[in-house]
Amino acid sequence: MIAPPAKDALIIAVDGPAASGKGTIAQALAVLYRLPSLDTGLLYRAVGVLTQRRTGALEPADAEWVARSLNPGALGDPNLRTREAGELASRVAAIPKVRSALLEFQRAFAVQPGGAVLDGRDIGTVIAPDARAKLFVTARPEIRAERRWRQLGAQGERVSIETVLEDIRVRDQRDSGRSAAPLVRAEDAVLLDTSEMSIDEAVDAARRIVETARLSSDSQPRG
């Protein structure tokens, strides 16, 4: 059992679809508020990549075993940022036993003293439903495809923008349609559409959302 968050802890949940800008925003908020941050997508990417590498397939029982024995040290592997890793991640993320194997690590990260920033798909709904600030970051699919295409290009992956857009559509559908912790905006999450925003504008908008959430939670009795 994991203890609930301390009353003054600042837990920030940042959810949203692929390449919406949530990772960049989460990292910037972590620096601004001096909080530890966890990109939870990396956990699923690591499980997908390691399962495929070790067994040549993505059998649910194997993926669950990999998730249970996952070493957080594996999260720094640059291979986790590839297009293929994103696809493998989204496939293992639909396996309920993989999700439950990763649950405790994420919850423990969220409730550390002082707080934390986590980004993913189910942070505000499942991992940290008591988070003080919840953001749901989105952008139009064409914009997200262009951002991801640039990112992949910078990593040396040559792929057409049309292929990236198709990947994003498939992933959106799989992430939103699965029965285990689907991608959905928590009722109390603030929607942030970054389609027309620069990185600085998006980070600034996110900071204002967090400030508003902090002020309103300070004026309400909690716990």
Positions that interact with ligand CDP (CB under 6 A): 18-19, 23, 40-41, 44-45, 86, 89-90, 93, 120-122, 171, 175
Cβ-based nearer residue to ligand CDP, 84 or 188: 84
Instruction: List Cβ neighbours of 195 (8 Å cut-off, separation of 6 or more).
Output: 139, 140, 143
Cβ-based nearer residue to ligand CDP, 19 or 35: 19
Cβ-based nearer residue to ligand CDP, 152 or 209: 152
Number of residue whose CB is nearest ligand CDP: 41
Helix or strand (DSSP H, E) at 50: helix 41-55
- Please report how close the Cβ of residue 62 comes to ligand CDP at its closest, in angstroms: 17
Whats the size of the chain, residue-wise?
A: 223
Query: Are the beta carbons of 175 and 90 closer than 8 angstroms?
Result: yes
- Please report how close the Cβ of residue 220 comes to ligand CDP at its closest, in angstroms: 27
- Please report how close the Cβ of residue 221 comes to ligand CDP at its closest, in angstroms: 30
The label of the residue with tokens 């991801």 reads 148
* Bridge partner list, 138: 193
Residue 197: Cβ within 10 Å count: 17
- Please report how close the Cβ of residue 39 comes to ligand CDP at its closest, in angstroms: 7
- Please report how close the Cβ of residue 215 comes to ligand CDP at its closest, in angstroms: 27
Both tokens assigned to 204: 């600034």
Cβ-based nearer residue to ligand CDP, 114 or 182: 182
Calpha distance 115→98 (Å, rounded): 25
Cβ-based nearer residue to ligand CDP, 59 or 218: 59
Can you list the positions of beta strands (E) in the chain? Answer: 10-15, 37-39, 115-120, 133-138, 190-193
